[in-house]
Amino acid sequence: MPNSSSCFSKMLSVYVDLTDEEHEGIARLEKTERTIGRDEMVFTEGDVAEELYIVKSGWLCSFRNLEDGQRQVVQLHHPGDMCGYHELMLRQRTSSMVALVDSVLCPLPKSALTKLGRETPRIALLIEAIVSRELVAIVDTLQAIARSQALERVLHLLLFLYHRLAVINPLVVTTGNFRLPMTQSLIGDMLGLTNVSVSVAMKELERMGFITRERRTVTFIELEKAKERVDFKDRFQDADLSFIDTA
């Protein structure tokens, strides 16, 4: 399989030019594959955390089951993402991970990072940078939850997904639409809402002319107005990794 077909390489290449050696290093990481069917669990809260994953294809979701029966969705994972690194320092999984659609993962042991650091230090740094950006994305979500109401929360999520998916699929930009394989309950569990308020919010977003919906496909009609409405910042732009080469 040619290197160029690696989603992870593709994601990294958005930000730096990879050398042949680095391409090979990544290809080695993706040697093994694991196929996950829809609704299948990759791991469960409390499991011993030994691996990280690179998402080759599909959609996955990390979540926690709370004591009172509620659920908190922590993160969504798309092709090209690294995931499962929340427990890099911890013995046990702090969340469970489930596939929302049939997916393919490349598992790698935590120690692969040690190796990576020695052999291709630039990649190791890049991963560090990407983790830190993921942190910014989660803070964005936190802010949306803490400081805006249902409508804005839902709109923020849709905008985030639009921009995230556009990175690996330019079609999203040209058509303005993307598939959203999440139930409204799941969206609610991500945003601290109930399925009811998600339903109301999405209807209202449609009525206001921001989006249209067709089954599970969402189309943005007024992207710019939408971004303005929630003061959306695209963290996938504005990258600057020049520090990696100057040492």
Partner DNA sequence: CGGGTCGTTGACCGTGATCAAGTAACGTGG
Partner DNA sequence: CCACGTTACTTGATCACGGTCAACGACCCG
Residues that bind DNA (CB under 7 A): 149-151, 183-185, 188, 192-197, 199-200, 202-203, 213, 215-216
The Cα 94–Cα 46 span in angstroms is: 6
Task: Determine, following the binding rule CB under 8 A, whether residue 196 of this chain makes contact with a second copy.
Answer: no
Instruction: List the single partner that 138 binds among DNA, a second copy, none, CB under 5 to 8 Å by kind.
Output: a second copy
As measured in angstroms, the least distance from the Cβ of 162 to DNA is: 18
- Distance between first and last Cα of the chain: 33
Query: Contact 24/43 with Cβ under 8 angstroms?
Result: no
Task: Give me the amino acid identity at 59.
Answer: W
Q: Judge whether 97 and 61 are in contact, CB under 8 Å.
A: yes
For residue 55, the cross-strand partners are 105
Angle at CA of residue 75, ends 142 and 123, nearest 5°: 105
| Count of residues that interact with a second copy, criterion CB under 8 A | 59
Query: Which partner in a second copy, DNA, none is near 207 (CB below 5 to 8 A by kind)?
Result: none
Q: What are phi and psi of 237, to 5 degrees?
A: -95, -170
CB of 2 or CB of 69, closer to DNA: 69
The CB density around residue 100, as the number of other CB atoms within 10 Å, is: 18
Q: Of a second copy, DNA, none, which one sits near residue 87, judging by CB under 5 to 8 A according to partner kind?
A: a second copy
* 122 contacts: CB under 8 Å, gap ≥ 6: 16, 22, 244, 245
The mark string for 76-115 relative to a second copy (x by CB under 8 A, - otherwise) is ---------xxxxxxxx-xx-------------xxx-xxx
Binding positions for a second copy, rule: CB under 8 A = 15, 64, 66-67, 70, 72, 74, 85-92, 94-95, 109-111, 113-115, 117-118, 121, 124-125, 127-136, 138-139, 141-143, 145-147, 191-192, 231, 233, 235, 238-241, 243-244, 246-247
